[in-house]
């Protein structure tokens, strides 16, 4: 029974008072939990990450909540860190129940297919063990190369951003509207990206390297999972999308060409502009993208797909339209969140309007001083404050940067103000530790494309 642990926050989101933050629920649960559980995630390259939590003893009246809290915890780990084999060291039955979740439920099967099979080439496998495998991980330097003539691009769900960079100086930047989500023909994506690159190339004497960021998971420039290509059939994905960026590199003469997840470039942009490390960057755009720069300025093999990581444990939380799961980050920190909150704010818009147009409408109202629009941003900010506390239990961070279309205009300031208010009241120790940042308007709109330009190293 999880109800006793669904704690009402001290600050209720004004338009979403039913929020029951994951961080408060986990902490309330672990106050009574005394039985340690060891968890290890294994990735395809052999990397192993270890974690610990506690569950209730078998005789506890709420012991049936153990399965729920273990699954939610592992759900965050899988989308945050990644892996296909889950090792469980703990009481009998926990591993079996978790395995049944990935085998028998729609939400579990989604995670197993997307994370396990499509990213790591194995379905999620749960193993009960008396001893966890030893931890093992690798990190890699990320970007920061600005020599020569470079192009950086960022592919979002509603626009393509690009920058031409000459020896570290931006000589051209542009934003082009597109609608990639449900396009069936991969030519739409290829031609759109090529058009963007050519526009930037026209402002450079030559092109030495190209770096890009996009929503999704990319391994060695190959597309593993990406919402940008959701409309493409599985057959066309394998034939024409999986190696899309390798094909583009060939079309540009085989020059250095690197593409990574947009969340990683978000963190890189923050680290470069702020000249700090230990940065969690979160982009509130079409979805929710995140990335981490470690204390030594590197990235890890983690996924950081916080769009799918649950931040709300209520039983009737908002449902993610792709995974079908409840309470995931994308429903709180994206254009989808704005669209979800518009009716609660009492704002009337045509339901058929695309989400980017709904956001623009809210931004216009906000600029005009409309209190209904302000409540949307206040609600997002309150939810963000509780999410930051949740993320901080998993990520070692000293800086948080938010950017993306949802943060444009005065609304972004409101979001950060409300998030800080939550930390000050509920998590004062964290409030003193984490510094909040938000780039200026120009950096918000083009910072990722510029950082992306620094990804490839020019050799020779």
Answer whether 140-260 and 265-448 agree in fold.
yes
Write out the two tokens for 87: 């090792």
Chain centroid to Cα 59, Å, comes to: 38
Could you give the CA distance from residue 277 to residue 188 in angstroms, rounded to a whole number? 37
Q: Which CATH code, of 3.30.420.140, 1.20.140.10, 3.30.300.30, 3.30.420.40, is assigned to 265-448?
A: 3.30.420.40
Q: Please give the pLDDT value at position 139.
A: 64
Handedness of CA 220, 221, 222, 225 (dihedral sign): positive
* Proportion of the chain in helix, strand, coil states, percent, rounded to 5: 40, 20, 35
The CATH classification number of 140-260 equals: 3.30.420.40
Could you give the CA distance from residue 387 to residue 419 in angstroms, rounded to a whole number? 9
Q: Using an 8 Å Cβ cutoff, are 211 and 263 in contact?
A: no
Alpha carbon distances (Å) from 436 to 45, 270, 379 = 34, 11, 18
**Closest by CA position to 273, among listed 453, 454, 451, 455:** 451
Greatest CA separation found in the chain? 73
Could you give the CA distance from residue 383 to residue 284 in angstroms, rounded to a whole number? 13
Could you give the CA distance from residue 218 to residue 303 in angstroms, rounded to a whole number? 10
Chain centroid to Cα 257, Å, comes to: 23
Q: Using an 8 Å Cβ cutoff, are 164 and 201 in contact?
A: yes
Write out the two tokens for 271: 């680290």
Q: Please give the pLDDT value at position 66.
A: 98
pLDDT along the chain (460 residues), means of 10: 95 98 98 98 91 96 97 97 96 96 97 93 96 85 88 90 92 93 94 97 98 88 89 94 96 95 84 89 89 85 90 97 95 97 97 94 98 98 98 95 90 97 97 90 67 88
Q: Are strands 217-219 and 279-284 parallel, antiparallel or unpaired?
A: unpaired
Residue written as tokens 């704002």? 347
* Phi, psi angles (nearest 5°) of residue 112: -65, -40
Predicted TM-score (pTM) of the model is 0.88
Write out the two tokens for 84: 């296909």
Could you give the CA distance from residue 352 to residue 337 in angstroms, rounded to a whole number? 16
Write out the two tokens for 244: 């899309």
**Closest by CA position to 80, among listed 255, 340, 229, 303:** 303
Q: Please give the pLDDT value at position 90.
A: 96
Non-local CB neighbours of 227 within 8 Å, separated by 6+ positions: 157, 181, 215, 216, 286, 287, 322
Q: Please give the pLDDT value at position 449.
A: 77
Q: Please give the pLDDT value at position 140.
A: 63
* Burial (CB count <10 Å: 0-12, 13-18, 19+), residue 182: exposed
Chain centroid to Cα 60, Å, comes to: 36
Could you give the CA distance from residue 58 to residue 175 in angstroms, rounded to a whole number? 57
Could you give the CA distance from residue 37 to residue 241 in angstroms, rounded to a whole number? 40
Q: Using an 8 Å Cβ cutoff, are 385 and 421 in contact?
A: yes
Could you give the CA distance from residue 65 to residue 31 in angstroms, rounded to a whole number? 14
Cβ count near 295 (within 10 Å): 12
Segments making up each domain of the chain, as ranges: 33-128, 140-260, 265-448
């Amino acid at each position: 029974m999880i109800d006793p642990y669904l704690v009402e926050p001290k600050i209720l989101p004004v338009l979403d008072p039913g929020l029951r933050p994951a961080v408060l629920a986990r902490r309330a649960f672990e106050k009574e939990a005394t039985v340690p559980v060891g968890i290890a995630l294994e990735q395809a390259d052999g990397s192993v990450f270890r974690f610990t939590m506690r569950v209730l003893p078998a005789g506890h009246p709420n012991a049936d909540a153990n399965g729920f809290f273990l699954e939610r915890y592992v759900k965050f780990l899988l989308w945050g860190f990644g892996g296909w084999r889950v090792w469980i060291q703990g009481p009998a039955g926990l591993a079996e129940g978790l395995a049944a979740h990935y085998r028998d439920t729609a939400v579990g099967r989604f995670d197993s297919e997307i994370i396990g099979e499509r990213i790591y080439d194995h379905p999620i496998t749960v193993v009960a063990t008396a001893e966890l495998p030893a931890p093992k991980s690798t990190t890699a330097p990320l970007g920061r190369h600005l020599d020569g003539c470079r192009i950086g691009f960022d592919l979002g769900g509603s626009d393509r951003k690009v920058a031409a960079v000459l020896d570290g100086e931006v000589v051209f930047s542009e934003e082009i509207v597109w609608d990639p989500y449900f396009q069936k023909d991969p030519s739409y994506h290829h031609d759109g990206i090529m058009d963007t690159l050519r526009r930037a190339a026209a402002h450079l004497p030559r092109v030495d390297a190209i770096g890009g960021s996009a929503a999704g998971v990319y391994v060695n420039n190959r597309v593993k999972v990406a919402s940008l290509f959701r409309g493409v059939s599985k057959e066309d994905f394998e034939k024409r999308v999986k190696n899309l960026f390798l094909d583009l590199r060939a079309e540009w003469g085989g020059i250095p060409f690197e593409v990574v997840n947009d969340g990683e470039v978000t963190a890189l942009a923050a680290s470069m502009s702020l000249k700090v490390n230990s940065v969690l960057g979160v982009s509130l755009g079409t979805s929710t993208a995140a990335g981490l720069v470690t204390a030594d300025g590197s990235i890890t093999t983690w996924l950081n797909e916080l769009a799918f990581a649950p931040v709300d444990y209520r039983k009737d939380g908002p449902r993610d339209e792709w995974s079908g799961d409840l309470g995931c980050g994308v429903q709180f920190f994206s254009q989808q969140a704005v669209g979800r909150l518009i009716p609660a704010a009492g704002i009337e818009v045509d339901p058929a309007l695309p989400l980017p147009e709904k956001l623009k409408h809210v931004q216009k109202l906000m600029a005009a001083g409309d209190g209904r629009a302000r409540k949307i941003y206040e609600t997002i900010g309150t939810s963000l404050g509780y999410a930051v506390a949740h993320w901080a239990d998993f990520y070692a961070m000293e800086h948080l940067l938010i950017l993306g279309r949802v943060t444009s205009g005065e609304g972004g300031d409101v979001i950060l103000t409300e998030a800080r208010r939550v930390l000050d009241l509920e998590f004062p120790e964290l409030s003193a530790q984490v510094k909040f940042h938000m780039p200026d308007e120009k950096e918000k709109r083009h910072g990722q494309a510029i950082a992306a330009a620094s990804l490839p190293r020019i050799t020779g």
